[in-house]
Chains A and B, each alone.
Chain A
């Protein structure tokens, strides 16, 4: 079954490794790749009045910056002869990856795991754990 592979991307080395790993599998199975970058966001967080005023402008900046990192990454995968699509979303990474997986009827998901700082480890660790527990499709965590 060819289908689509989802890559969770966050501009880290680990995510790039996950990308390479997924690309190798995708070539073998003739699958398409869908790169997802999630900007952490909660509509229930608290902002000051000044932040409210600037929020829309800030969002435009963040999306532009995200496009700057995700585009070269996708281009790199395309050079390997793969079909690549991408999207940048705001929200909770775990929830969104599961939702996108379901909507696209993807067959597999790949995410990176970063060593590094304890805080980063915890953050990425919790994403990996969330996906392992909640993902509707098989998840590969690349170290």
Chain B
């Protein structure tokens, strides 16, 4: 295993070591140019289809965002506002009230939820929100929350399907995701050809999204933060992005190729604390400025319905909010069902109820908090954007925050990359079959893209990977629409069993009686 890992790493390094010998700037430009030349037409073509925009007033509305929000609205209505009615039941499931003690040692609802969350909580909540309020004004926050709440119903649907059609292998492994519910679910409806086609399209996009949005974008943003706190232009990494890329690729490679679990385990332990720390710091800043919270909410509501000072007015604020919410919580993208599918439950719909908490925590709680801090800090309109804006806003309340934020961004990026390497791998093995050789090829490609993502600023590549990420929602949501009746049947059966007493609480039974 170790030799194989070294071989893969060596293969990855070969492409970079010559670059190290020469002037890094020069190599970066030429490599950048070469890839740009080759890639721009491809990226433009894919991007122009996926991010096809229709003009509404002064602004362009990307249809893909409408596609995601429409699906969320349809799921919300179809399941009778499940995200409002069943939250208490969701929390009860996460607490383990319905978990059979005999199943101790299996994947719990809590574990499936936190693993899926670790893949979505990250740059979207820190950088994405800043982008939304910069371009869409404070009012964008309101629409982001609306999209987040609607997205809860999409997550409910896709994660229920993920568990229902998952694969349980003879050796005890469990895996699922859109590729399985698309192929198996549509085969049940008598459309095996369509199902298989959609599953393949999804898998291609998922691999693209994994190496792009789940990898290059992450390492690129992490690098910018690291350069920022290690002295900007004077930083050892300034102009030497490849060095940062090689380090990150080596660490990721050790985990996914070398199977060194301790690194992953440490990150996975630290990341939840980072997330909690981020939220606590945000709440502390809000508590210090408690007298301005009312005013900030006023700004958010006023902005949402007047669109004052925003390009495109109300519609402009709405688009930015919707778009960033979709980026952040990934509802309808189809990534979360892959993580949620391994849970131990006899009823697929229970995981749906748990999964609907994900957009709530991610978008409604964490994004709103970030937005409030930015609005209250008065940094909005200072010319800063992205992570820098969030960093400056938090620094206004806690001066040491930027360093901590940089560490958090690197860790979030790292955990997001680990999660996406897994999502991508599942899609890859769906297409090429399971086996050590196939897996190693994907993992080596994944590591190579880390170095690429850090060493060059490839706007077209990043645009391309974003398109791939969003393209995942096209086959996924078609599948969701076609399989809605299946989920409804599951819901009815589940509640019938609860009413008949076939499913009861194992813990805290008295609390609800």
A residues neighboring B (CB under 8 Å): 39, 41, 43-50, 52-60, 62-63, 89-91
Q: Are B175 and A53 in contact (CB under 8 A)?
A: yes
Q: A53 to chain B: which residues have CB within 8 Å?
A: 173-175, 342
Q: Are A55 and B342 in contact (CB under 8 A)?
A: yes
Known contacts A43-B110, A48-B418, A56-B172, A90 near B105 by CB under 8 Å: yes
CA separation between A90 and B339, bound complex, in Å?
23
Q: Are B268 and A48 in contact (CB under 8 A)?
A: yes
CA separation between A46 and B174, bound complex, in Å?
17
Q: Which of B96, B173, B338 contacts A56 (CB 8 A)?
A: B173
CA separation between A137 and B189, bound complex, in Å?
59
The answer, yes or no, to whether B272 is at the interface (CB within 8 Å) is: yes
Q: A50 to chain B: which residues have CB within 8 Å?
A: 264, 422
B residues neighboring A (CB under 8 Å): 96, 99, 101, 104-108, 110-112, 114-115, 118-119, 168, 171-175, 264-265, 268-269, 272, 338-339, 342-344, 418-419, 422-423
Q: Are B423 and A49 in contact (CB under 8 A)?
A: yes
Q: Are A43 and B96 in contact (CB under 8 A)?
A: yes
CA separation between A81 and B173, bound complex, in Å?
42
CA separation between A121 and B156, bound complex, in Å?
46
Minimum CB–CB distance for B454 against chain A, Å: 23
Q: Which 8 pairs, one residue from A and one from B, show the smallest C-beta to C-beta distance?
A: A57-B172, A90-B105, A43-B108, A90-B104, A52-B342, A49-B422, A59-B105, A55-B107
CA separation between A44 and B265, bound complex, in Å?
14
Minimum CB–CB distance for B58 against chain A, Å: 42
Q: Are B339 and A52 in contact (CB under 8 A)?
A: yes
Supply 9 A–B pairs (Cβ within 8 Å), ascending by A: A41-B104, A43-B110, A48-B265, A48-B419, A50-B264, A50-B422, A52-B107, A57-B173, A59-B106
CA separation between A45 and B173, bound complex, in Å?
19
CA separation between A98 and B162, bound complex, in Å?
38
Minimum CB–CB distance for B413 against chain A, Å: 15
CA separation between A59 and B423, bound complex, in Å?
23
CA separation between A85 and B106, bound complex, in Å?
24
Please classify the interface of chain B as helix (H, G, I), strand (E, B), loop, or mixed, using the class held by over half of its residues. Answer: helix
Q: B422 to chain A: which residues have CB within 8 Å?
A: 48-50
CA separation between A91 and B105, bound complex, in Å?
7
Q: Which of A43, A49, A62 contacts B339 (CB 8 A)?
A: A49
Highest count of chain B CB atoms <10 Å: which of A56, A57, A63: A56
Q: Are B419 and A49 in contact (CB under 8 A)?
A: yes
Q: Are A48 and B173 in contact (CB under 8 A)?
A: no
Q: Are B111 and A54 in contact (CB under 8 A)?
A: no
Q: Are A46 and B114 in contact (CB under 8 A)?
A: yes
Q: Are B423 and A47 in contact (CB under 8 A)?
A: no
Known contacts A53-B175, A53-B342, A91 near B104 by CB under 8 Å: yes
Q: B171 to chain A: which residues have CB within 8 Å?
A: 57
Q: Are A43 and B419 in contact (CB under 8 A)?
A: no
Q: Are B111 and A47 in contact (CB under 8 A)?
A: yes
Q: B265 to chain A: which residues have CB within 8 Å?
A: 48
Minimum CB–CB distance for A36 against chain B, Å: 13
Q: B96 to chain A: which residues have CB within 8 Å?
A: 43
Q: Which of A45, A48, A56, A89 contacts B106 (CB 8 A)?
A: A56
CA separation between A47 and B168, bound complex, in Å?
19
Q: Are B175 and A46 in contact (CB under 8 A)?
A: no
Known contacts A46-B268, A48-B268, A52-B112, A39 near B339 by CB under 8 Å: no
CA separation between A54 and B105, bound complex, in Å?
12
Highest count of chain B CB atoms <10 Å: which of A44, A48, A49: A49
Q: Are A43 and B264 in contact (CB under 8 A)?
A: no
Q: B99 to chain A: which residues have CB within 8 Å?
A: 43
Q: Are A62 and B172 in contact (CB under 8 A)?
A: no
Q: A43 to chain B: which residues have CB within 8 Å?
A: 96, 99, 104, 108, 110-111
Q: B111 to chain A: which residues have CB within 8 Å?
A: 43-47, 52
CA separation between A62 and B171, bound complex, in Å?
14
Q: B175 to chain A: which residues have CB within 8 Å?
A: 53
CA separation between A56 and B115, bound complex, in Å?
16
Highest count of chain A CB atoms <10 Å: which of B106, B119, B344: B106
Q: Are A62 and B105 in contact (CB under 8 A)?
A: yes
Give the nearest-CB partner of A38 in chain B: B104
Minimum CB–CB distance for B464 against chain A, Å: 24
Minimum CB–CB distance for B430 against chain A, Å: 14
Q: A48 to chain B: which residues have CB within 8 Å?
A: 115, 264-265, 268, 418-419, 422
